[in-house]
A and B are shown apart, each in its own frame.
Chain A
């Protein structure tokens, strides 16, 4: 039978199976291979909250979605075109993400009576016609894997763990992928276990050959390389990007990096990554709780380190009092909050952006803190560097908001060089003459950083109100009022030091869609689509929320309507309404999921309908 090859601009593939089926590795390999072949891409893993949910259950399904294309790719994809399901539960959980007419590849061995029962199927969806609107390819992947390895004398456990590469081999054939990237990865990764290397390569090729030689598949797809800026790329998750951005900032500031952190989903990877960077002098301290994590960082900041604490929402609650201490003592500190579903323990593995107002206002007293937010996984690098730069320059804690979607999601990152990054160092105070701990730089209002060990600068700081300039304890009413204003003004002056906001699209028009954080890709995709249809719509994505860039008010006034989509009940919109008295319109769905670009498109359509 002849095989037709279709060229696709973009495609979204989801690998799903039991958490023991190796779906993350399978998806990761498809990603590396596609990246090496020059596609633009974006990925998102979907883990179960349980570490080891019972095999075959709905709760144990682990997924990995990759969106790749020859065009610019901004999200991991609203829906998938191809679903690889290693068992019945994986099919059940993921079927609603598949487009009508989409491709399903299933491992028939994962659809035995027990699997069907665990997945809650009364009868097999493979035989009852319920999948008729899809193209279903049912392959006994387990059996074929077994046959491919029959002469290798491997345990059945190892054989079973290799079957994901059979599925990967079939997908490589279907999408015209090269095998070298994965073969080389296996040879490096398992250099000391030749039988693992051989068995996986053999099964990968068996999957490819099966697709090539049987007449099961009649269509192959081709996704041409994207037009990306020339240079070296690396696939990077938001959490890894934060870690790299912090190390880079410490190096460019001439300081040691100190991280005080307590493990919490979905932020722990930042702690893991940084604990591996000891050759940069990075000190990581896994504290006994969230409070000790930030408190240790404040101690390190007092000692002259670039101090950081990383957490997620519930942890930010616990750090609240200590953030106030950093505000009062005017010490530099970076607080990274990888937001997750709340309130309380909420949805630990799901994404949300409902901690903005907590970051802005969630402290006792007038306690101004700069709040920044990363827009994409690779932007996490840049914003972690920025948060550090501002913390050091203005002697202030800075909260950087990312989220589970950014933290776990990945995209190609154009690898920078050290030389491209700015020097962000500030010398410590060393001159003992006329030293006043709370004397300020006239431009930034930052006090000087005078660290223990410096002769003649012995001084005391603390959480009690400070007297202007001297820093002595003061209960004087006028002084308190003055200091409240000085601290507020210091943070407000950061607006002089951050880039102006940039509109994507026309500088005026019918509708401006204003977002922040991880919704960037979905909004961009939607706005571009509507613009291509000739609609007057533009995008403004805010990465600096407190303070806002100086030109935000002017930008907002240039559009007839302003739409603010957020994965919360309307938090940025409160800030914009309060500051600019505009009648902005919210779009708010809080489902623990990233926005789909189609939802935003629909909302844009609804709003522009009346114009």
Chain B
């Protein structure tokens, strides 16, 4: 870091302060629609931050445009509400310039997968240590209800009056295909799971990608209710837990087994299969991660929720610092006078 940056950020006493969730709430009035799923995500974020053992001033939230992108205003930390789709690129520059910061990107299915799709996949392949939270509500909310890149085929919206003819992205599969190191899915209406996944994402070194199924109660109400509501959730969601078999169902009586490379549902109560036949989740196995991500949108299978993959590899920011440190230690810190006079020079008397 430049000397002036060091001066600015290290003069303070960094003795660990004990924070409460409210310490991460800014003085701004929260302006999402009443009943929006975003409130839960904000609350869970404010709840986990005190456990992260990081001074508040070392945390930055960067967002693009959309309902979700209002998020940074409500966090008492450094925040940057930028332009549509570019939060990932801005966060990349911020993290590279300031590896000492914990950098979050808050985005949505439009901001992160449509206009910002390109920057998203490149952030992931580079593995810059940034945590991305993608609020997926399968609709454009801020522009009042057009189909998004995660809306289902046939979706009737203001801009698709007789049904959308766009096929949706599968965000988890897209992330895995982009070599994202940490890929997860969680639910706005499951605060505990949401907190767990956000914490894991924050602790993970490398790009973390968290897709949150988030209800837009104004323009796409109930899009995920079969996965989030009490009476339907158990039979429609399978939670991925590292080292554990894929069991689901109200009575924990169903499971996922691999038939060749294809996951299939088996009953644990008909005497044909036991838990021992089931697929055991392994966050470190990228092949399994692809198989599970591809269960998404398969109507015959429950929706996978949890951490698909968490495989650490060297980060771009780490490698960048390494190259600079290695060059400085090999050639010494640069001197302008030497630099100016390098190459072919000649004297005029």
List the interface of chain A (C-beta within 8 A of B): 32, 35-36, 38, 181, 185, 225, 228-235, 244, 247-248, 250-251, 253-256, 258, 260, 277-283, 285, 287-289, 291-292, 295-307, 321-322, 324-325, 329, 415-418, 421, 425, 427-430, 451-464, 472-473
**B331 A279 Cβ-Cβ under 8 A:** yes
A279-B328, A454-B9 given as contacts; is B2 within 8 A of A304 (CB)? yes
Contact residue among A292, A460, A463, A473 (Cβ-Cβ distance under 8 Å from B89): A292
Beta-carbon contact of B119 and A232 below 8 Å: no
Considering only CB atoms, which chain B residue lies closest to A225 in the complex?
Answer: B348
Contacts of A427 in B (CB 8 A): 4, 7-8
Report the bound CA distance from A428 to B2 in whole Å. 12
Q: For residue B9, which residues in chain A have a CB less than 8 angstroms away from its CB?
A: 451-454
B272 at the interface (CB under 8 A from A): no
State in angstroms the CA–CA spacing of A285 and B89 once bound together: 11
User: Shortest CB–CB separation between residue A249 and chain B, in angstroms?
Assistant: 10
Contact residues in A for B341 (Cβ distance below 8 Å): 232, 234, 415
Question: Is there contact, CB below 8 Å, between B80 and A230?
Answer: no
| Complex contacts, B55 vs chain A, CB 8 Å | 455
CB-based nearest A residue for B58: A453
A250 to B56, alpha carbons, bound, how many Å?
28
Question: Do residues B26 and A460 form an inter-chain contact, with CB atoms below 8 A?
Answer: yes
A296-B90, A325-B82, A453-B9 known; A230+B349 contact, CB < 8 A: yes
Q: Which residue of B lies closest to A278 (CB)?
A: B327
Residues of B within 8 A of A416 (CB): 340
For the complex, count residues of B whose C-beta is within 8 A of A. Answer: 67
**In the complex, given contacts A285-B92, A303-B94, A458-B77, what are 7 additional A-B residue pairs having Cβ atoms less than 8 angstroms apart?**
A235-B344, A287-B122, A299-B90, A304-B4, A451-B98, A453-B57, A464-B81
Q: Using Cβ atoms and an 8 Å threshold, which residues of chain A touch B327?
A: 278-279
Q: A36-B346, A460-B81, A462-B81 are in contact. Are A417 and B8 (CB under 8 A)?
A: no
Residues of chain B in range 97-138 having any CB-CB distance to chain A below 8 Å: 97-98, 100-101, 118-119, 122
Q: A278-B328, A299-B89, A299-B91 are in contact. Are A452 and B339 (CB under 8 A)?
A: no
Q: Please report the C-alpha to C-alpha distance between residue A416 and residue B339 in the assembled complex, in whole angstroms.
A: 10
Which of A234, A430, A463 meets B8, CB within 8 Å?
A430
Residue in A233, A255, A299, A415 whose CB lies within 8 Å of B94: A299
State the Cβ distance, B147 to closest chain A Cβ, in Å: 24
Asked if B12 lies at the interface with its beta carbon under 8 angstroms from chain A, I say yes
Residues of A within 8 A of B12 (CB): 454-456
> B2 touching A415 by the CB < 8 A rule?
no
Whether the Cβ atoms of A321 and B346 lie closer than 8 Å is: no
Determine the chain B residues whose CB is within 8 A of the CB of A232 once the complex forms: 341, 345-347
Query: Which of B11, B28, B97, B119 gathers most chain A CB within 10 Å?
Result: B97
CA of A255 to CA of B340, assembled, Å: 19
Residue of A nearest to B340 (CB): A415
Among B7, B122, B348, chain A packs the most CB atoms within 10 A around the CB of: B348
Minimal beta-carbon separation of A357 from chain B (angstroms): 23
- Given A233-B345, A279-B328, A453 and B8 touching (CB < 8 A)? yes
Determine if B89 and A415 form an interchain contact, defined as CB atoms under 8 angstroms apart: no
| Contact status of A458 and B81, CB under 8 A, knowing A279-B331, A418-B335 | no
Contact of A231 among B57, B79, B320, B348 (CB under 8 A): B348
* B25 → chain A closest CB, angstroms: 12
Assembled-state Cα–Cα distance A295/B115 (Å): 14
B52-95: which have CB < 8 Å to A?
55-60, 62, 72-73, 76-83, 86, 89-95
Asked if A462 and B80 make an inter-chain contact with CB atoms under 8 angstroms apart, the answer reads yes
Report the nearest A residue to B55, measured CB to CB. Answer: A455
Contact A233 B97 (CB under 8 A): no
A292 to B344, CA, bound (A): 36
Selected from B81, B91, B94, the residue in CB contact (under 8 A) with A461 is: B81
Distance A453 CA – B4 CA, assembled complex (angstroms): 12
Known interface pairs A38-B348, A279-B331; A462-B82 also in contact (CB < 8 Å): yes
B2 touches A299 (CB 8 A): no
A298 contacts which chain B residues (CB < 8 A)?
82, 90, 93
Are B89 and A296 in touch, CB under 8 angstroms? yes
